[in-house]
Amino acid sequence: MNKDELSKLVGEKLDKSSAEVKESLEIIFKTIKEQLTKGEAVKIVGFGKFNVKKRKARMGRDPNTGEKLFLPETDTPSFSPSKNLTKSVKGKKK
C-alpha cells in the first residue's frame, strides 16, 4: 500500500477527501522526521516507536570493485513495533 492508497482508505473511513487526509499524513510524516532529525524518539502507544540508532563505524566493500572502504559512524532511523501491533499482525488479538 502506498501513500495515495492509504489516504483514500482513511478518507473513506473518516468521510473526508483523499486530498485532506494526504495533507494530514504529510504533516504527520514531516513532524516525525523533524523529531528524529533532532535525535528525539516518537512513541505512538499501541503502534510503535520511531527512534534513531547509531550505526558503528565499520569496514565495507565497494560492490562494483570489491575495494575495501571505511564506513564512518552514522545515525539511522529505526522502528520498533508495539506488543499490540505485533500480536495483531500475528493474529493474536487481545
Q: What is the pLDDT of residues 53-84, one digit of tens each?
A: 999 999 999 999 999 999 999 999 999 999 99
Q: Which helix (H) or strand (E) holds 51?
A: strand 48-55
Residues 6+ apart with CB under 8 A from 89: 81
Q: What is the pLDDT of residues 24-60, one digit of tens each?
A: 999 999 999 999 999 999 999 999 999 999 999 999 9
Output the pTM of the full model.
Answer: 0.78
**Per-residue confidence band for 94, with pLDDT thresholds at 50, 70 and 90:** low
**Per-residue confidence band for 91, with pLDDT thresholds at 50, 70 and 90:** confident
Residue 93's pLDDT is what? 59
Residues 6+ apart with CB under 8 A from 56: 73
Residues 6+ apart with CB under 8 A from 55: 73, 74, 75, 76
